[in-house]
Amino acid sequence: MTLRVLCVFLLSGWLSVSAAALPIPENGPALRIQGSNTIGAELGPALVEGLLQEQGLLKIHRETPDTANEQRIVGQTAQGQRVIIEVAAHGSSTGFAALKNASADLAASSREIKDSELLALQALGDLKSPAAEQVIAIDGLAIILNPANPLEQLNTEQLARIFAGEVKTWEELGSRGGAIHLYARDDQSGTYDTFKELVLSRRGKSLSSAAKRFESSEQLSDAVSADPQGIGFIGLPYVRQAKAVAIADGASQAMLPLNSLIATEDYPLSRRLFFYLPPDSRNPWAQALATFAQSPQGQAIVATSGFVSQTVQAMSVTPNALMPEGYQSLSRHAQRLTVNFRFAEGSASLDNKSRQDLARVLDYIKRNGKTERAVTLVGFGDLKDDPARADLLSKLRAMAVRRELVKNGVVMREVRGFGALMPVATNSADEGRIKNRRVEVWVY
C-alpha cells in the first residue's frame, strides 16, 4: 500500500490492518450491498464469506436483523475487531436507488442497468464501463409448474399470453387442471424486470393483476409446488420442489434450463447477474469483492450456490438433423467451450462479459495445450433479407474474436460463419437478435 493511498484511507476514517489486508473502518460497516434478492439471498453473502476468509478473518458468521431479506456477514480480526458487511436484498431497482442516495457502496442486480438509472447515476462515473459493470454469474429464469402438471414445454408467446391473463385454463394449452393460477416476483425484483423484458413487453403485454406477488424467491417456488394449478417464474437455484418446463423462443428448439445451455446463454430465458461499482468509489472492499467474485474461488462459490459459473469447460454436443452438415461434422470431432462471445448493441466490439471471458478462454487454451491449430471459431447472426450478408457478418464476428486470440499467441485451425442458421432466440425483437449474434469456440 503506497503512502498516498494509506493517507486517503486514514482521511476517510479507515484504519489499515496490515500492508496485505484490506483496511477496516473505525466505525460502521466495511461494505454496504443493496439490490437483487436473487443475489442477496444466498450468493452475495456466500461471496462475502469467501472474501472474509481470504482476508484471514476469524469467526465468520451471519447475523439477521429484524428487517426481512437483510443480513450482516461478520468476521473478526486477530485483535478481536469486528468487520461487518451489510447485505440488503429488496430487488435490483433498490440497489441503484441506494447508490444514488449513498446508502450503498455496491449494487447487486439480476438485470442490466437501465438507461434511466445510468442517467440518474452519471455523477458517480460511467457504470457501463468494464470496471464498473461486473458479470458475476449466469442464471436462467425457470418456468415452474406443480410437479403433477403433465405439460413439458411452452414457447415465449404462450408465456406472454398466460401471464397477461389471456390464456386462462390449462386445457387451452393441451394440459389439464382448470383455471391457471399465476405467481410472480414483486415490482422491485430484477427477476420480474427480466421476465417483463424477455417475455411480456416484447409482445406488448402486461402482467395480469390476478398474479400473486412475492418478494422472496423461495416462498414463490414453494407456493407453486403446493398448487396443482400454479405457474411461476423464478431464478434457477430456486426451482426447489417445483417442475421446470422446456422453453422455445421463435424458431429456436425448446430448451430446458440446463447448466450448459445457460452458461452459453443459448437458453431463451438466460440472464446475467451483476455487481455495479461506482468508478469513483473509494471503498476498497467493493472492488475486492468484485475481483474475488471473478476469481476461480469466487466462481466455485457461484456454482455451489446453484447458479452457473463462468469457468470455461469443454462439452460434447450431440449432432442432430436440425444442424447444418458442417456443424454436425464439427460436433462429431470437436468439443464446444461453455462460453459464447457476444457484442455490444449496434457494435462490432465485444461486450463487457466477453472481455472477461476472453481471459478465461485464453487460460483454458494455454492450460490444455490448444494454442497450435486446435481452435475453431464459429459465428452466427440474426436474420437478414440477404442470406449472403448474414453469412458474411457471422464470419466477420468470428474474425473479431480471432484477432483477440491471435494477439495472445493462438494459431487458429479454422474460422467459420453459419449466418442466421440455428437461432437461439426470435429475430423479431432486438433482444433476440442480439442473442443470435454470437461466436462459439470449439476445440480439438
Q: What domains appear along the chain, each with residue ranges and CATH number?
A: 3-136+272-304 (3.40.190.10), 139-262 (3.40.190.10), 312-443 (3.30.1330.60)
Q: What is the per-residue pLDDT across 72-106, written as a single tens digit (0 to 9) for each?
A: 999 999 999 999 999 999 999 999 999 999 999 99
Q: Which three cell numbers stand for residue 219?
A: 416462498
**pTM for the model:** 0.82
Query: What is the spatial distance between Cα 295 and Cα 384, in angstroms, rounded to a whole number?
Result: 39
What sign does the dihedral 280-101-112-238 (CA atoms) show?
positive
Band of pLDDT at residue 17, cut at 50, 70 and 90: very low
Residue type for position 391: D
Do 384 and 290 form a contact (C-beta atoms < 8 A)? no
Section 104-127 average pLDDT:
96
CA angle (54 as vertex; 51, 60 as ends), nearest 5: 70
Measured CA to CA in angstroms, residue 275 lies from 17, 128, 164, 309 at distances of 26, 11, 31, 15
Q: pLDDT band at 215, cuts 50/70/90?
A: very high
Q: Which residue has the cell 438433423?
A: 321
> Which of 99, 104, 92 is closest to 124 using CA atoms?
99
Of 113-122, 192-201, 343-352, where does the model show the most confidence? 113-122
Residue 262 cell numbers, joined: 445457460
**Residues contacting residue 169 through CB under 8 Å, at least 6 positions apart:** 177, 178, 179, 180
- Going by C-alpha positions, the residue among 414, 403, 409, 408 that lies closest to residue 443 is 414
Q: How far apart (Å, rounded) are the C-alpha atoms in residues 85 and 417?
A: 48
Write out pLDDT tens, residues 378-432: 999 888 878 888 888 889 999 999 999 999 999 999 999 999 899 888 877 677 7
pLDDT at site 2: 37
* pLDDT one-digit tens code per residue, 228-266: 999 999 998 899 999 999 999 988 889 999 988 999 999
Residues 6+ apart with CB under 8 A from 16: 1, 6, 9, 23, 24
Q: Which set of grid coordinates corresponds to residue 245?
A: 418446463
Per the prediction, the chain carries an average pLDDT of: 91
For the ranges 40-49, 182-191, 279-288, the maximum mean pLDDT occurs at: 40-49
Q: For residues 190 and 37, give the distance between their C-alpha atoms in angstroms, rounded to a whole number.
A: 8
What integer is the mean pLDDT of 320-334? 94
Closest CA to 214 of 201, 227, 205, 202: 227
**Which residue type occupies 392?**
L
* Strand pairing report for 335-342 and 438-443: antiparallel
Where b means 16+ CB within 10 Å and e means fewer, 189-225 reads bbbbbbbbbbbbebeebebbeebeebbbbeebbbbbb
Question: Of 237, 235, 265, which Cα lies nearest the Cα of 252?
Answer: 265
pLDDT of residue 344: 67
Q: Judge whether residue 333 has pLDDT over 90.
A: yes
**Displacement of CA 192 from its chain's centroid (Å):** 14
Using a pLDDT cut of 70, give the percent of the chain over it. 94
Distance CA 378, CA 356 (A): 19
